Structure 1
Amino acid sequence: MKIAISFFGVLLLMVSGLLFFQYQVFSDKLETGEGNFSYSQEVEIVYRGESLDIRQHLSNLPNQTIEIKWPNLAVSADCFIESENSCKRLNDEKTKFEQGDIRSQSLSYIIPLDGGLKSRQLLKEVFVTLQNGEVTHSTVHITTDSGVKGQWVTGLPLVGQQSLSLVNYSMFSGTGPISELYWQAGDFKLQEMLNHVAIYSKQPVTDSFKKQLTGLKLLNEHHIDLVQGENLTGEQGKRILFIKDLSIESIKQNIILAQVRTQYHFGNSPEWVSELVASYLSGSIIGGSKTNEIVASLTDQMTDEQLQRWVHKLNELKGEEISTKVLDEALYEVLGKYTQFLTLNEHTEVLFPFLYNDSRKVYLDSQPMKDVSVIFKDGFIYYSADTLLSHLSYEASEGNNGYYVNNATRHFRFPMEYDFYVYNQRRYNIVSQPLITIAGEYYIEENWLKRLFLVKVQKTNDAINIIATSTTQQ
């Protein structure tokens, strides 16, 4: 009985300690502003000559420190005193909201417009955002002088607009943030809003087109604005898309890509990465020729069950930072084998074929070599030649008569297309090639590496250690 009581006491202390630790971590996150949260906002925009005067009212703020990310163009950034408490949480430096129970705060700032508002001008990153915050709903009011005639587009559903004797007023409201503003003068307006898609153009859309648009299958119900034509810079917005051709196929591809890019964070990844994700989520090829090749090569490696798991895995990654490395790791979970297929294609113009890689870390004399990759091809093991030979103190380069590898005393030439190699001016016949090229990169076969460059290769479950002999670097 005493033993049971003692055990229960120890267990209680352990649980109490764990709860205290979790509470401390939670409290630290609140103080440092690391906790993720959602909030809503109402934005008032007034165009005055050569600037946008903006008041941004933020609601449902959590009781934690919140970093404020002001637009780079913003001037006269300040608090807007809408009520007694609307500035209580803003610190003196105006860089963050302090912890507090007040749920709503208001900010004001000015976005200068050099030369005033221009027709077909897309304004990006002109609104305040909050670190770790996600906007669930936005309402936007835009007011201009009555002499400023044109159409505003915000990426949110248009609720209504009115021209009065002194001002023009537009109101937009919907789920998610407002990321950009677009304005166009002339005979240009909202022509149709169907299936969460608003079409702005000079010409009305046909009944046949409306029917096709209604039946369009999209990835989610997030609103998208389609503008027929181009803006001044040729850029695309996040929720405002510019399309010359109002065909259903063009609209489908552009909308699905836009939806994917709002659901994932692609950072500096090549454009084909977002196209690849969009292709698998939509079940249709979206993107250019490289995307088509990569999707085809990747799909060929999968069974139907693996393909379903791959699409499921992509859905699980929504909201995450996406890179070729992240996707390769996801492929490993699906295929059960490690590959750098997507990573190796990131910096090549031609397609790097699908191959499996050795996932173990590679070392030279116990020093890590992060730039050396190991691939499996046709039953052989190959190492990336340029990087590995450089670590072995050789200079490797492609020349007129083959691939050259040199150091102070050892000189190799590999003609590649012939059954011999040259070492220190002497020719040696071979029955297999020491090196191969894949997508313009050279790889050296493991046994030839050991034989020609005098190294030993030791392998464990976690590492490949290449050991240079005393004569290797002579």
Structure 2
Amino acid sequence: MKIILRIVGLLIILNSALLYMHYSQMADASGTPEKESRYIQEIEVINREDALFIRHHFKNLDARRYEIILPAQSRNRACYLETDSSCTRINENVTAIVEGEQSWQSISYEIPKPESLENRKLFKEPFALLRNAKPDFTILHVTDESGIGGLWVSGLELVGSRQMDMIEYSMYRGSGGVTDLYWQRNSLPLAYRGSRLSIFGDSIDFEVAEQLDNGLLELNARHIAVVLDPQSKPLKSSRFLISELKETDLSDVVLERGVRSLYIIPDNEQLVAGLIASISVDTPSHIGKVNAVFETLKNSLTTDQYELLRSRLSEKQGERLDAAELDRLIGEVCGWKTSFVQKNNERAYPFLLEDTRVITLNGEAHEDIQVIMMDRRSLYPINKVLTRNGYSVTSNESSIYIESETEKFRFSLRDPFYVLNNKRYTVRERPYILIDNEYYFEEDALRRLFHLSIQKNEETIIVKSLAGGNTK
């Protein structure tokens, strides 16, 4: 009997294990994302007349399979036999590193040059990537065999250069990855080298450079390279910028580059990058629009909410951030939804929180009505709420007119009073506010003046007319 019980117990354990494996595989198949992997990369770039010849080494790989994302313009893709085992996990068409124990794998490819380099050239995303993985550290070697000379910039810190007969070699290194590679014929000296900032130029203000470096350090940004060249047109990449400005005018631009080295921010999201920079270092921006949004946001959050937002942003490093995601984080720390950053991308907009509960008017749901909160006041759009409770709503440059069969209101837009059925009433504060060309009334005013009952539960805001008005 004991033997039978042991066998049954073993079968139960085995069955549980098989079920766990089965559902784990189902979860993977259903699209549950894998934990993002980290690796170290070493990239060798050889500049020749017709192409950049690249040897790309991926190191510290774990045993999983990696999909290789090769540059769209690359050609002659192959594995590279750096060591006896550096090709063992590369598949035949060089699109994946398959499962295996070897932690170092190498590939090679070329980035063609349609024409010879003349004054400057940006090689946009010329390096391979691994899907669902990020480089922790990058070593970049650039060898120029064409004898063209000039300055190469990647955003990584320049370790050193060596000039030989018809060959010039430079080595760069730094945390994180590198997206772009830039060359210009005008070779400028390294005028400043800090912990997070390098500046190439003929002369600079050392104190200003120190301040910029300290700002990037406080931001905990990746290393940034700045080329101050009055002869070149401005150019920006995620980890470097080419500018004709003086370093004294670069504070916001450098901090924005620092932010973009930490997050994946769309190119057109200038407000997001500037706002994150200001929040992260708790410093106003010199850019008017960014500063206005930052000051409004900071003044609208409590100290605890503001510090929690800074912490949430720090946790998001390495991830994609746009206006919608930043709004989600702000709403998360406030406990309500907001579209503050998205709205300010379009035009100046106040800090509002959005009540996501469904509005019902006299028993009917109205999903097009959005209750908002501003300065801890609940506000309702009167053109929708009151017209659907039997009132007409009109306005001009001096007054708002709200009328039913028995009541005629006129709210002055110039002075703090309203008129009801020809009788004037003075108010200490106006019960309405104009937001984005729409008038909103406070919840208490709707109850007191327009005979509305407003009750709330977790999912619904229930609005009923106590005056027996007809809904439209």
Q: Same fold (TM over 0.5)?
A: yes
Deviation at 1:150? 0.9
Superposition pairs of residues 141-160 of structure 1, within 5 angstroms: 141-145=141-145, 147-160=147-160
One-letter identity of the residue aligned with 2:351: F
Say if 2:75 and 2:110, in contact at 8 Å, map to a contact too.
yes
Match of residue 294 from structure 2: 295
Deviation at 1:187, TM superposition (A): 4.3
The answer on whether the counterparts of 1:45 and 1:52 sit within 8 Å (CA) in structure 2 is: yes
> Aligned runs of 1:418-437 on 2, under 5 Å?
418-420=399-401, 429-431=409-411, 437=434
Q: 1:361 to 1:26 in 2, by over 3 A?
A: same
**Does the residue aligned with 1:294 lie in a helix, a strand or coil?**
helix
DSSP 3-state at the match of 2:311? helix
Tell me, what secondary structure is at the counterpart of 2:220? Answer: coil
Question: Counterpart in 1 of 2:162?
Answer: 162
2:140 is aligned with 1:140 = yes
Residue of structure 2 in register with 1:238 after alignment: 238
Quickly say closer, same or farther: Cα 1:442–1:120, change in 2 above 3 A.
Answer: farther
Partner of 2:82: 82
Letter paired with 1:349: R
CA offsets 1:281-331 (integer angstroms, 9 cap, x no match): 112112522221122122223444443333333323333333444434433
- The answer to whether the 8 Å contact 1:44/1:54 transfers is yes
Q: Distance in 2 between matches of 1:18 and 1:286?
A: 57
- Superposed displacement of residue 444, structure 1: 7.3
TM value normalised by structure 2: 0.75
Residue of 439, 454, 458 corresponding to 1:461: 458
Task: State the distance in 2 between where 1:210 and 1:270 align.
Answer: 26
Q: Percent identity?
A: 28
- Contact 2:232–2:243 (Cα < 8 Å) also in 1: no
Contact 1:416 1:436 in 2 (8 A): no
- Deviation of 1:368 after TM superposition, in Å, equals 8.6
User: Counterpart of 1:183 in structure 2: which amino acid?
Assistant: W
Kept in 1: contact 2:137–2:175 (CA 8 A): yes
- Counterpart for residue 223 of structure 1: 223
- Structure 1 358/51 Cα, relative in aligned 2: closer, same or farther at 3 Å? same
Distance 1:231-1:177 versus aligned 2 partners, 3 A rule: farther
* 1:263 alignment counterpart: 262
Per-residue deviation at 1:114? 2.6
TM score, norm. by length of structure 1: 0.75
Post-superposition offset of 1:108: 1.9
Aligned equivalents of 2:15 and 2:330: distance in 1?
37
Q: CA–CA distance in 2 between the matches of 1:230 and 1:23? A: 61
CA contact (8 A) 2:234 2:244 kept: no
Shift in Å, 1:122: 2.5
SS of residue in 1 equivalent to 2:34: coil
Provide the rounded CA distance (Å) in 2 between the counterparts of 1:180 and 1:61.
Answer: 23
* Aligned mates of 2:131, 2:108 — CA distance in 1: 18
Q: 1:156 to 1:381 in 2, by over 3 A?
A: closer
* Pair 255,379 (structure 1): closer, same or farther in 2 beyond 3 Å: closer
Match status 1:374 vs 2:371: yes
C-alpha RMSD of the superposition:
4.7
Match of 1:340 in 2: 338
SS for the counterpart of 1:314 is helix
Q: SS state of the match for residue 307, structure 1?
A: helix
Q: 1:347: how far off?
A: 4.3
Aligned pairs for 1:439-450 within 5 A:
439-441=436-438, 443=440
Q: What amino acid sits opposite 1:227 in the alignment?
A: V
Q: Which digits, 9 at most, give the CA deviation of each residue in 1:87-108, with x for residues without a partner?
A: 3333344332222222222222
SS of alignment partner, residue 322 of structure 1: coil
Residues 130 and 211 (structure 1), Cα distance of their counterparts in 2 relative to 1, 3 Å cut? closer
Residue identity matched to 1:94: V
What one-letter code is carried by the residue in structure 2 that aligns with 1:307? Y
Deviates more, 1:84-93 or 1:290-299: 84-93
**Equivalent residues of 1:46, 1:142 under 8 A apart:** yes
Cα–Cα, structure 1 residues 385 and 421, in superposed 2: closer, same or farther, change >3 Å? Answer: closer
* 1:186 and 2:167 aligned: no
